[in-house]
Amino acid sequence: MSVSAPPAPPTRRSSSWPGVLLALGVAAASMAAAQALPGLSALVIAIAVGVVVANLTSLPPALSPGIQFAAKKLLRAGIVLLGLQVALGDLLGLGAPILLVVVVVVAVGIFGTVAIGRALGVEKGLTILVACGFSICGAAAVAAAAGVTDPREEHEERTVTAVALVVLCGTVMIAAVPAVAALLALSPQTAGLWAGASIHEVAQVVAAGGALGGTALALAVIVKLARVLMLAPVMAMLSLQQRREGAAEGARPPLVPLFVLGFLAMVVLRSVAPLPGALLEVGALLQTGLLAAAMFSLGTGVRVRRLLRVGPRPFALAALSTLLVASLALGGVLLAA
């Protein structure tokens, strides 16, 4: 596949702190670098650092327990805090037509990507992760889907590969959406709606929205958060499917993973409670830091030579999924407008 075998499970005497502190340190540095490099998100920088470190040197074995912890537990904690960014009132302000576009983009994007993956002969597990990541909210959706489809964490290489594809294609979209919007002479409002409905990561949407100017950024972020909210129902349906497929083996994963319930709880809290702006800012910083730490940890599992040997099919799937979601989003936004 595209990554090295996961490190051996830690013993009882193993400490997670060295690896966790390293991941958090890289996350903090990535966040600082992102402030100085507009257009690059801390998540992209962190995973790039992880890939570089993994391919130029070898990390001490003592760091493995903490890196594993960051790649799984810190990532899920970051997903929970992501819910604090979603206010239901803001989403309802978009109006029914745009909300319908969001639902169609997510639903058709997932089913269409699965169909493309089947036609290309890409492994089913990887196809599902790509479908969720590209249609909903990037790396966070990949991690959420992996938590449902691989609860025993036996196929971590799928998660790493899907995250790498999200970073690659989403970064291309940061430049592509403003360029195509200018070519089509889209208004800033329409371009912002399209960016939010099509680009993979929240941070990537912010970068593209800032480049579009005008009111594009605010609209892009709100539409993107509407897609983020689709994480919960999609994971519930995916979990239900896993329960049906695993019934013969006696495997019954929870209908909704605990971290997805936490995400929903944060959405409700943000929507009904008058939270101070300072608290929301702290939550956003923590969420970015936790996800960046997880991205660094996942990046340390990427081996470039093996990624290149995975073949063209996953890359073709990622490119076609990106085109599918972007086309659905553009058509839907134009119709809604």
Number of domains in the chain: 1
- How far is residue 110's CA from residue 112's CA, in Å, rounded to a whole number? 5
- How far is residue 249's CA from residue 258's CA, in Å, rounded to a whole number? 22
- Asked whether residue 3 is domain-assigned, the answer is no
- Asked whether residue 7 is domain-assigned, the answer is no
**302: nearest Cα among 57, 42, 54:** 54
- Provide the pLDDT for residue 240: 84
Residues 6+ apart with CB under 8 A from 55: 302, 303, 304
- Provide the pLDDT for residue 39: 65
- Asked whether residue 329 is domain-assigned, the answer is yes
Residues 6+ apart with CB under 8 A from 335: 97, 101
- Provide the pLDDT for residue 137: 86
- Provide the pLDDT for residue 6: 47
State the SS3 of 204-265: HHHHHHHHHCCCHHHHHHHHHHHHHHCHHHHHHHHHHHHHHHCHHHCCCCCCCCHHHHHHHH
What is the tens place of the pLDDT at every residue in 16-27?
A: 899 999 999 999
Task: Please list the rounded mean pLDDT of every run of 10 residues in the chain (337 residues).
Answer: 48 73 95 83 85 88 90 87 89 93 96 96 93 90 84 74 86 90 93 94 81 84 91 88 65 70 91 91 92 87 74 92 96 91
What is the tens place of the pLDDT at every residue in 55-101?
A: 898 888 899 999 989 888 898 898 899 889 888 998 999 999 999 99
Q: Please identify which residue in the block is written with the tokens 């206010």.
A: 87
Considering only CA atoms, give the Rg of the chain: 19
**162: nearest Cα among 184, 183, 139, 191:** 139
Tokens of 68: 């594993």
- Provide the pLDDT for residue 276: 92
- Asked whether residue 1 is domain-assigned, the answer is no
- Provide the pLDDT for residue 255: 67
**6: nearest Cα among 65, 73, 78:** 65
**Which residues form the domain of 226?**
17-336
- Asked whether residue 180 is domain-assigned, the answer is yes
